[in-house]
C-alpha cells in the first residue's frame, strides 16, 4: 500500500503537471501541494472531488490501495498554545502602558498678553493618565480625541486577555475566532490611535512623544496581524 501523498505526486508526474499547475487548478498554494506530496498533511474532504478531477481520476481510483493516515491532532484537548503569540500580546500591552506614562500633549500658554516681553510662559505636560481621567470634552474634536485614547488604552488590556487565552485549551473553532478577534482589535486600536493623532494635528497643540509612540505601537501590531493573516492563508 502507498500513501495518499505519493499517489498524488505519481499521478501528477504521469500527467506531466508541475506542483504549481496543480495548485493553480485547485486555487491553493503550491506549498499546500508540497505538504500533501511529502505526506505532511492530507487534502480536506471538500477538495477531494476537485483534486480527483484535476488528476483525471475518480475519487475511488485516487484512494485505491492507499493507506490513509489521519493527522495527529496537535493537542487532544485543544489547539497547542503559541508562546510567541502570547509573548507578543503581553509585550505590546506592557510597552503601551509605558508609553501612557510619557507626555501625550505639550500645551503652551502665558500669564500675560503675547506682546509682553516679560510674560511668563507656562508649559503643561499632560501625561497619559491625565488624558484618561482629568480632561473634559468641550467640543466634538476633544471628545473624539479622549474617546480614541480610551479605546487604544482598553485595547492594551485586551492584548493581555488574549495573551492569557493563548494558554487556555481552546477548540480549533474557538482558536480561529480568537485570532479573528485579535485581528479586528488591531484594526480598531490602530484606527483609534490615528484619530487621536489626527484630532491633535487639527487642534494644533504640540504632540507629545507618548502619543506618537502609541500610534507606532498600534500600527506595528496591526502590521504583524496582517502579515500573520496572509501567512496563515498561504499555508492552506
Output the domain CATH number for residue 18. 1.10.260.40
Is 48 in the same domain as 152? no
Sheet architecture: strand order including 206-207: 121-127, 103-110, 206-207
| Domain range enclosing 132 | 83-234
The continuous run of DSSP H or E covering 150 comes out as: helix 140-165
Is 125 in the same domain as 169? yes
DSSP for 183-232, please give it.
HHHHHHHHHHHHHHHHHHHHH-PEEPHHHHHHHHHHHHHHHHHHHHHHHH
Give dist(CA 212, CA 127) in Å, integer: 13
Is 19 in the same domain as 90? no
Q: How does pLDDT run along the chain (236 residues), one tens digit per residue? A: 678 888 899 889 999 999 999 988 888 888 889 888 888 888 888 888 889 889 988 878 878 776 655 444 444 445 577 888 889 999 999 999 999 888 888 766 554 554 555 555 556 678 887 888 887 777 788 888 889 999 999 999 999 999 998 888 777 778 888 888 999 999 999 999 999 888 888 876 778 888 899 999 999 999 999 988 887 665 54
Output the domain CATH number for residue 209. 1.20.140
Residue 72 in domain: no
HSE-CB at 31 with a 13 A cutoff on CA atoms is 7
Is 30 in the same domain as 95? no
Total number of domains constituting the chain: 2
DSSP structure class, residue 28: S
CA distances from 39 to 9, 74, 76 (A): 10, 16, 21
Residue 73 in domain: no
Is 16 in the same domain as 111? no
DSSP structure class, residue 37: H
Is 92 in the same domain as 63? no
Residue 75 in domain: no
Amino acid at each position: 500500500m502507498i500513501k495518499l501523498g505519493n499517489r498524488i505526486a505519481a499521478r501528477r508526474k504521469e500527467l506531466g503537471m508541475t506542483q504549481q499547475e496543480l495548485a493553480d487548478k485547485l486555487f491553493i498554494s503550491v506549498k499546500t501541494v508540497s505538504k500533501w506530496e511529502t505526506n505532511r498533511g492530507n487534502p480536506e474532504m471538500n477538495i477531494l472531488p476537485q483534486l480527483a478531477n484535476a488528476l483525471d481520476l475518480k475519487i475511488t481510483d485516487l484512494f485505491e490501495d492507499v493507506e490513509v493516515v489521519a493527522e495527529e491532532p496537535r493537542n487532544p484537548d485543544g489547539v497547542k498554545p503559541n508562546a510567541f503569540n502570547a509573548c507578543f500580546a503581553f509585550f505590546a500591552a506592557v510597552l503601551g502602558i509605558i508609553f501612557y506614562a510619557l507626555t501625550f500633549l505639550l500645551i503652551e500658554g502665558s500669564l500675560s498678553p503675547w506682546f509682553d516681553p516679560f510674560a511668563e510662559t507656562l508649559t503643561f505636560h499632560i501625561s497619559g493618565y491625565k488624558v484618561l481621567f482629568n480632561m473634559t470634552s468641550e467640543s466634538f474634536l476633544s471628545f473624539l480625541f479622549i474617546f480614541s485614547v480610551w479605546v487604544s488604552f482598553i485595547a492594551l488590556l485586551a492584548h493581555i486577555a488574549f495573551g492569557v487565552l493563548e494558554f487556555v485549551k481552546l477548540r480549533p473553532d474557538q482558536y480561529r475566532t480568537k485570532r479573528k478577534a485579535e485581528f479586528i482589535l488591531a484594526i480598531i486600536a490602530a484606527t483609534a490611535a490615528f484619530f487621536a493623532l489626527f484630532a491633535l494635528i487639527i487642534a494644533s497643540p504640540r504632540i507629545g512623544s507618548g502619543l506618537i509612540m502609541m500610534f507606532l505601537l498600534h500600527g506595528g501590531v496591526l502590521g504583524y496581524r496582517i502579515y500573520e493573516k496572509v501567512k496563515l492563508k498561504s499555508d492552506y
